[in-house]
Structure formats: C-alpha cells, structure tokens
Amino acid sequence: MKAATQKDIAEVQPIIEGYAREYGLDFFPVVFELIDYDTMSQLAAYGGFPVRYPHWRFGMEYDQLSKGYRYGLQKIYEMVINTNPCYAYLMQSNPLVDQKLVIAHVYAHCDFFKNNFYFSHTNRKMIDEMANHASRIRRYIDLYGLETVENFIDVCLSLENLIDYHAPYIKREADESLTGSSSEPRTIKKLKSKKYMERYINPPEFIESQLKEIQQQQEKQRAFPANPTRDVLLFLMENAPLENWQHDVLGIIREEAYYFAPQGMTKIMNEGWATYWHSTIMTQKLLKPSEVIDYAEHHSGTIASHPGRINPYRIGVMLFKDIEERWNKGKFGKEYEECSDFKEKRNWDKKLGLGREKIFEVRRFYNDVTFIDTFLTEEFCRDNKLFSFAYNDNSKRYEIESREFQQIKKRFLQSLTNMGQPIIEVVDANFQNRAELLLKHLFEETELDKNYSTETLRNLHSIWKRPVHIQTVMEGREVILTYDGDEIRQQWIGDN
Amino acid sequence: MLLHMDKDHNRFRQIIKGKIKENLRKYISNGEMIGRKGRDLISIPLPQIDLPRFRFGDNGRGGAGQGDGEPGTPLGGDDGEGGVGSAGNEPGHHLREVELTLEELAEILGEELALPNIEPRGKKEIVTEKDRYTGISRVGPESLRHFKRTFREALKRQIITGQFNFERPQIVPIREDFRYRSWKTTTLPQSNAVIIYMMDVSGSMWDEQKQIVRLETFWIDTWLHYQYKGLITRYIIHDAQAGEVDRDTFFSVRENGGTVISTAYELCHHIIEQDYPPDEWNIYAFHFSDGDNWSREDNRLCADILENQILPKVNMFGYGQVESTYGSGEFIDFLDENLSHHENLILSYIPDKESIYDSIKEFLGKGK
C-alpha cells in the first residue's frame, strides 16, 4: 500500500483533531513529524528526546530497535512525547489508514499526559531540560574524560530505581522547622497533685514509661536519617562524599528518572485509553469502507493477546470498556454488589448512561495500581481468561498458579506495585556507629536476586566510600548482605 | 533532525566486542546461542549489557497473565518477563530476544561474523524445481485462503449488488468470494553440497563436550544450508572404530573405549569415493574430538589419509578440538605441525561454549 505523504497527513490531521475535541479530549497542541525508521529507532532509543547526554546504553537500545525493525520483528508506529507542545513522530512508510489510526491514538495519549494526575508534576519543557543535561555532561566529559564520567553514569544508572515513586504527590514527613519538634526537649507530663496524693495521681510506672518514651524519641533524633527514606538517590546527593560534578550528574539521573516514572506507573491505563479512543474515532467517524480491512488488521494486531502474557493495550482498553458499560448500566454500588442472583446481575441495566463521564474521571485520578485495584472484577477476569502465575521452586519455571479472582488480583497488583521494583529504604547512615550505610528491603513476598544485589552493592560502595549493607530476606531467612570494599559477606540475622 | 547516535552505537559495539570498558564485560549477556526452537522459528538473544540493580529474583515472584491453561501449566518463555512488571520507561516494545526463521538467522550470522558468501565450485549445475506462491486463484485448500482478498471480493460484491450498508459496514463473504493463494513452479539452478560430520564419542567425550559439538554443528549447518539449497548431511561417529549413523544417534550416543581417529577418516574417504564425485559436489568435512588419539602411529596414518585422499577432494576440512577431560589432547598440534600448509584444512580449538563464536568464524570466515 502507498505510504501517506506529508500532504495527506496535513489534510486529515485537523479533521481528527476536531473529532477528538468533540468527544471531549483535552490536549496540548500537537506537532506531528514524519520520520524514517532509522530516525525513529534513534529517537526511541533516546526516550523520544532528540538531545540526550552521550552514553552507550542509548546505543544498545538503538541496536536492538533497529535490528528488530530490519529483521521484520517489530515496528514502532508512533512515539509521543509528554511536553507542551506535544511532539508526535509518525513512521514515514505507513499508509494513510495506519496514520489516521495513529494520529487518533496520539491525541488520546496527549490528553492523558495533560490530564492524568500522575503527570501533573512533570516538566513540560523537558526537551530543553534534557538538552541542558546533555550539555552539562558533555562539559564534564571535556574536563574529566569520557571514561571517568561514563563509569560514574553507569554507577548512577545502577541505582536509578532507588527513588520514591510517590514523593511528587505526597508529603512523607512533617517539616521540622515548622513544628519545632526537634528543638524543644519534651518533658514528663505530670498531673498536679498534693504531695501525699502524688503516688496515686502520677504512679511511678507511668513516670517510668514516659521517661522511656522520651529516651526513645531522643535516640530516634540521633538516628540518621531520622526516618527511613526511599529516595536513596537524594539521600546520597545530600550525604555522600561526592565531587561537585558527580553531585550534578547524580541529580540529572534522578531528575530524569522522576520524569519517566509516571509513564511506567500508567502504562496499562495510558495505552488502554489511547486504544479506546483510536477505535472509537476510527469506527464511528473516520473509517472509509475501503479501509475497513486494513484498519481491522492493524487494530487486532494492537490488542492481540499473546498466550500467557498481559498485553497492556488489550487489558487497558477492555477495562475502560468494561467500566463504561458498568457505569452506563449502573452495575456498581451496594445494591449491585449485594445482589446474589447471577442471572439478575448479568442482565442488570439501570440505564444510567454514566459510562463516558466515569472513564474521563478514571483517566484523571488513577494509576495502574489503583486502576486494577478498583476496577478489576471477578467477571472481567473470567471473561478475559486471566490467571495468576508464580515461580515454582521445584520445577524451576514459571507456571500458571490459579484462576481465583483474589489471587489473580493480588499477583497483578504485586507485579505493578512500585513499578515492579523492590521497595528499598535508607534506614541508617551511621550503622554500627561507623558511618556505614544500611539499606533495608521491605520484604513482601519476593526475594531479591542475589547476584544483582551484590553487584549493586559494589556500585553503591563506590559512591558511599564506606561499607554498605542491605537487610533483606534470602531463602526465607533475614539476612544482611555487606560489601566493605573488599569482599561480599552475608550475615544471617539471629545467628551469632 | 540531527541525532548523534553513531557515537553511542559505536561505543556499545566496542564494549560488546570487549575492546573498551572491561569492567562491564561481566554484565554482557551471551546467553545460550540456541534458544527454543518451536516449529521453524528460533530465538537468539541480542547482545545486551545488563547493569546490576536491586531487583527481584525468582523466589516468590509472580504476576498476572492471560490465556488458556490449567494451574501448573508452564508459561511460554522461561524468564519471568511474562508479567506487566517488566513494563519499563522505554517507549515502544523492549525486546531482548528475537524470533527468526533459520534463513534469517543465517543472514544475521553472516552479518555479525562478517562471513563471506561461499563461491560454489560445482562445475555442473543441477536444476531443481521450486514452488513459489505468486498468484491468486478461485479454488484451493482452506489452509491457503487469502483472508484479505476474500473480504475485498465480498466487499466488491456487496457494493455492486447494493447490499452494503455504509452505516453498518458488515462484510459477509460467500462461496464465490473466496480467494486462495496459488503457486507457480519455477526452476532454480542448484549447486550440490554435502557435509560429513565426524565426532569422537570415546569415553573421554563428556556431555559438555558433546553439547559444544552440537551447538557448533548447528551453526555450521545453518550457514551452509543458507548457502546451498538442498544440502545433504552425513554423520560418522567413532571410538576405536567408526560407523555411519543418523542425526539423532550422532548427538545422543555415548560410547566407551579408546580413540582411533584414522578409522573415521577412512570411512569419510570411503563415503566420498562412493557417493560424491568431487567435480560435481561441494564437500565439507568436519571432525570434532578431544584430540586424545590412541597412538602416534595412528596420528601419522590420519595425516596420510588427509593429505592424499581427503584434502584434495573437499572444499574444506575443519577439525575442531574440544577440551580433553584428561587434559592431554595433542592431535590439533600434530595436524598444525604437519599439515598446516594445506589451505583447506582449518583447525580450531574450542575450550568452552564462549569460544564457539570465534570457532565458527575460523571455520567459515574464508568463504570456501
């Protein structure tokens, strides 16, 4: 089929934009560019940004993407960047029907970027910021040499996931300068009493326990950090013995990690939303009869289910459609939940027509974790043949574990929580009173990969410069892994 | 748009090749060179540097999936990437493994190892027939039904007959709309080629060594199959005596006993004499052993057979020596001393799986 020209795109773009607005999508201005596959692979490798700092891993991404395309294994249809204005890159070789679908898809992504709460803090001028990062790092390379700077970036990337994904949205601890809790020493609170009544009104045990509490409080204040912190990168920036340029590079890596985080946190929703809208706009407004078959082929490719895997496009769009239907028919709330008649539930229809409104609300306030937690239903799991899987230690492979709704939901959430990364905190920067760094893995159910952990400890040590530890669970027992600059040690907790 | 990918890409390639940044070498994933081989597809891992991070291991890990299967059914793919948890920041699809047909695989192999194409030396070209799907017909087996054409025909018919409703575009093909792929038979010139594999299966060849031989012959096979359509393979195993076997036996058999290499070379020569006149055939012979031959006399006998009988007839004779369990393999040195002036004799030492890559390059890098 003939590839669409710049002119074709220019003709259909305002029409699609019009339809998108009619449906209530709300987006930044979108700049479309047609590019060839090699440029597309390069851009995709750079995370969508034309100017990034020099680093081999972009070369690695490019290597994989361009080979994937050349060997005919995969194709990137489009790329949208979360900026204002929003940049969207379209693959030059695609025929017009594909481009129409993709343009509709892009407008929905852009609407999601603009309106979803989890993107609200992101820098919409990120193209400039990335370019700025690049020129700073280039300057350091001129000053200190490529290898030195690149090696340090490697170390930072190895710790890149140790940020607090929720920090931009909440305040974890009270600002101490406001409450003044640190300056004012707490005293024992006593009730007024006559001397002969003292023992009864303020019994010694009570005084004792108060005293203990105060001591604990003071100890905690001496502890550093006072409260465990998940933003390990920030903690290192503030407290590790770094040179100025290293401090800046670590800051750059951290900032970029926070910028990309919301895309990982909303993958299912974002793709689901875009797929919902391209299919709605295409089938209701845009499609010419001659394009039906090609459209159907492309669309079914997008939402194809790969045996055993979750396709975020598919699960996302199915859930949005499910929510729309449930809110149209009133299949929610106490009355519906408590109805025990299967048949009545199936045919439930209160004709509320709230579906559209509801999905717009969902796209504003939810991320993948809360989306699945709130809207995944037993019926949905059954209709879509969802299952949970787990690693079987005996057969050493991943196997289907269950088709029980609660178990599926639990595993699903488990794989999404903290973007599928272990939750790790700095608990003590003066461990054993020797300025050693202790991290703690908040163990839930899944153990850390030991080889990766020890290698990461080495990298952490190269920044902290003193022995580093991580407390976690291995083979079902609590353990502290240590790297002291010399060797890796492990100590089981409770063994002495 | 001006991007500067060249530098980053070169740097990555150099790290992979081990030229710079030795410290990252341990994070390069080589993987097994043959992944799973379902139907005609094969998966090969792309080179990748995996920077360490705190991340989950397998113990206690799980996720949600979609599809058929009972509890206990293993998931496709043996890594844990089935869940959504692996969704990263990257736009597009992040791929680590690619699935390829053998032909594509050979192409990539040639590209990656910079293998030259082989100039066939067959003087006589034999013509073969080959079917190619080039056209469309109205009849055919259901398995060859052309989905898109069928629907297009149905659409045409519905529009012509006025049955098509633009408001509700439903297309229902009927018998007359069905279209099928059809083929034409074309003739292809073909040059004949045969590979004769010989393997030492004496007691000193352990499973690990055989695994290396298996991998290496797989790659040689793939490449030569790509170069010659209609390639024939023959298999010889030997300990103190040699015999011809089928492919499965070749890779699975475990013998005991001593090693008399000359028996295999004699049999190899016999097979060539009998079936493959060298002026009509491109002949390749490969022999794998741990180099622990029975005696020096036999070494000399081998050299004699090679020099006078086999080497004049074959395009190439490749000898690959794996690590000897007893650490005493000397056959490769013997050949090197006595026969290295023959250009079509190629010797390669393969101590471990990692060296297979280099070994293939040694064997096939000359384009013979």
- Domain locations along chain A: 6-116+266-300, 126-172+228-263, 176-222, 305-418, 422-492
- Separation between Cα atoms, residue B268 and residue A65, nearest integer Å: 45
How many CB atoms are closer than 10 A to CB A14?
9
Q: What percent of chain B has pLDDT over 70?
A: 77
Query: Are A59 and B8 within 8 A, CB to CB?
Result: yes
Distance, CA of A491 to CA of B42 (rounded, Å): 43
Domain B191-364: top CATH class: alpha beta
Confidence of residue B122 (pLDDT cuts 50, 70, 90): low
Nearest to A479 by CA among A436, A439, A452: A439
Q: Residue B337: CB partners within 8 Å, gap ≥ 6?
A: none
The predicted-structure confidence for A299-334, as pLDDT tens digits, reads as follows 888 888 776 678 899 999 999 999 999 999 999 988
The 10 Å Cβ neighbour count of residue A260 is 19
Give pLDDT, residue B120.
64
SS3 (DSSP) at A134: helix
The identity of residue A111, as a single letter, is D
Q: How many helices (H) and strands (E) does chain B have?
A: 9, 13
**DSSP states of A310-321 as a string?**
--HHHHHHHHHH
Chain A nearest-CA distance from B90, in A, is 6
- B101 interfacial to chain A (CB closer than 8 Å): no
Q: How far apart are CA B338 and CA B302, in angstroms?
A: 11
The answer to whether B59 contacts A386, with C-beta atoms less than 8 Å apart, is no
Single out the residue of A467, A415, A422 nearest to residue A448, CA to CA.
A422
At A73 the pLDDT is 63
Contacts of A414 in chain B (CB under 8 A): 62-63
B134-174 tens-digit pLDDT: 888 888 888 888 888 999 999 989 988 888 888 888 888 88
Q: What are A173-190's pLDDT values in tens digits?
A: 655 544 444 445 567 777
Nearest CB partner across the interface for B70, out of A157, A314, A400: A400
Q: E strands within B83-191?
A: 97-101, 126-137, 180-190
CA distance B47 to chain A (A): 8
**Average of pLDDT values for A147-168?**
94
Shortest CB distance from B60 goes to which of A158, A315, A447?
Answer: A447
Interface touch A415/B64, C-beta < 8 Å: yes
Distance of alpha carbon B268 from alpha carbon B244, whole angstroms: 9
| Selected residues 166-195 of chain B with any CB under 8 Å from a CB in chain A | 166, 169, 171
Q: Which residue has the tokens 């040195």?
A: B333
Q: How confident is the model at residue B79 (pLDDT cuts 50, 70, 90)?
A: very low
Residue A373 has pLDDT above 90, yes or no: yes
Question: Which residues are within 8 A (CB) of A424 and not within 5 positions of it... i.e. 6 or more apart?
Answer: A162, A230, A232, A439, A440, A441, A442, A470, B54
Helix, strand, coil percentages in chain B from 3-state DSSP, rounded to 5: 35, 25, 40
The DSSP element (H or E) to which B28 belongs, if any, is strand B28-29
Antiparallel, parallel or unpaired: β B242-245 and B41-45: unpaired
Reported as a single tens digit per residue, the pLDDT across A45-89 is: 999 998 999 999 999 999 888 877 776 666 788 899 999 999 999
Q: Distance (Å, rounded) from C-alpha B165 to C-alpha B152? A: 15
Which residue in A223, A229, A113, A117 sits closest to A167, CA to CA?
A229
Question: For B103, which residue in chain A has the nearest alpha carbon?
Answer: A71
Decide if B289 contacts B261 (C-beta within 8 A): yes
- In this structure, the dihedral spanned by the alpha carbons of residues A158, A162, A167 and A173, taken in order and rounded to 10 degrees, is -140
Instruction: Answer whether residue A159 shows pLDDT above 90.
Output: yes
Which amino acid makes up residue B180? Y
Mean pLDDT of chain B: 78
Which helix H or strand E contains A22, and what residues bound it? helix A6-22
Q: Which of A56-60, A189-193, B180-184, B215-219 has the highest mean pLDDT?
A: A56-60
The full DSSP string for A429-492 is EEETTTTEEEEEE--SS-PBPHHHHHHHHHHHHHHH-S-EEEEEEETTEEEEEEE-SS-EEEEE
- Say yes or no for a CB contact (<8 Å) between A67 and B98: yes
For the stretch B337-343, contacts whose Cβ atoms lie closer than 8 Å and that sit 24 or more positions apart, written own/partner, are: B338/B303, B339/B303, B339/B306, B339/B307, B339/B311, B342/B306, B342/B307, B342/B311
Q: Are A428 and A446 in contact (CB under 8 A)?
A: no
A157 contacts on B by Cβ (under 8 Å): 51
Distance from CA of A139 to the nearest CA of B (A): 16
Q: A400-409 b/e with 16+ CB inside 10 Å = b?
A: bbbbebebbb
Per domain, the residue ranges of chain B are 1-51+96-101, 128-188, 191-364
pLDDT of residue B140: 83
Helices (H), chain B: 5-16, 102-112, 147-160, 207-227, 247-252, 261-275, 296-305, 331-339, 356-364
For B212, what's the count of Cα atoms within 13 Å in the CB-facing half-sphere? 29
- Residue A211 burial (CB < 10 Å; 0-12/13-18/19+)? exposed
Task: Tell whether B49 lies on the interface with A, counting CB pairs under 8 A.
Answer: yes
pLDDT of residue B170: 85
| Residues 6 or more apart whose Cβ sits within 8 Å of residue B272 | B196, B278, B283, B310, B313, B314
Q: Is B327 on the interface with A (CB under 8 A)?
A: no
Mean pLDDT computed over A102-127: 95
For testing the chain A interface, which of B21, B66, B172 should be mutated: the one with the most A CBs within 10 Å?
B66
Helix or strand (DSSP H, E) at A86 = strand A86-91
**N-terminal to C-terminal alpha carbon distance within chain B:** 44
* CB-closest option in A63, A309, A422 to B55: A422
> How are beta strands A78-81 and A86-91 bridged, if at all?
antiparallel
Task: Supply the pTM of this predicted model.
Answer: 0.71
Q: What is the DSSP letter of A418?
A: G
Is residue A107 within a helix (H) or strand (E), and if so which, with residue range? helix A96-115
Helix (H/G/I), strand (E/B), else coil: A106? helix
* pLDDT (average), residues A344-368: 93
Q: For residues A420 and B64, is the Cβ–Cβ distance under 8 A? A: no
Q: What pLDDT, on the 0 to 100 scale, is given for residue B113?
A: 64
Does B78 sit within 8 Å of A61, measured CB to CB? no
Picking from A36, A64, A438 by the largest number of B CB atoms within 10 A of its own CB, the best residue to mutate is A64
Shortest CA distance to B285 belongs to which of B259, B303, B263, B311?
A: B311
In this predicted structure, the answer to whether residue A285 has a pLDDT above a threshold of 80 is yes
The side-by-side arrangement of strands in the sheet containing B281-289 is B242-245, B231-238, B192-200, B281-289, B316-322, B345-350
CB contact B162 to A (< 8 Å): no
Q: From the CA of A185, how many Å to the nearest CA of chain B? A: 39
Q: What is the dihedral of CA A271, A274, A277, A282, to 10 degrees?
A: -100
Q: Which helix (H) or strand (E) holds B194?
A: strand B192-200
- Cβ contact B84:B63 at 8 Å: yes
Mark out the alpha helices in A116-173 (DSSP H runs).
126-144, 146-158
Instruction: Name B189's bridge partners.
Output: B127
Taking residues B14-41, report their average pLDDT: 64
Tokens at A214, concatenated: 């105060």
Please name the helix (run of DSSP H) or strand (run of DSSP E) that holds residue B317, with its range, or none.
strand B316-322
d(CA A115, CA A118): 9
pLDDT attached to residue B190: 63
Answer for the pair A93, A134: CB distance below 8 angstroms, yes or no. Answer: no
Which of A38, A52, A63 should one mutate to test binding to chain B, selecting the residue with the greatest count of B CBs within 10 A? A63
Spatial contact of A303 and A295, defined as CB atoms under 8 Å apart: no
Cβ <8 Å between B62 and A390: yes
Q: Which of A476-490, B108-122, B207-221, B286-300 has the lowest mean pLDDT?
A: B108-122
- Number of Cα atoms under 13 Å in the Cβ half of residue B359: 26
B-chain residue closest to A292, CA distance:
B169
Dihedral over Cα of A313, A319, A323, A326: its sign: positive
Q: Which residues contact A280 (CB under 8 A, 6 or more apart)?
A: A23
Name the range with the highest mean pLDDT among A282-286, A391-395, B127-131: A282-286
A32: Cβ contacts below 8 Å, ≥ 6 apart = A9, A13, A88, A89, A90, A103, A106
**Which of B7, B148, B152 lies at the smallest CB-CB distance from A54?**
B7
Contacts of A83 (CB under 8 A, 6+ apart): A28, A124, A125, A126, A127
List Cα–Cα distances, B11 to A146, A249, B124, in angstroms: 11, 20, 47
Contacts of A115 (CB under 8 A, 6+ apart): A26, A363, A364
Minimal Cα distance from A453: which residue of B? B54
Q: Cβ A385–B155 below 8 Å, yes or no?
A: no
Question: What's chain A's average pLDDT?
Answer: 90
Residues in A closer than 8 angstroms to B85, CB to CB, are 415-416, 419-420
Contact A35 B1 (CB under 8 A): yes
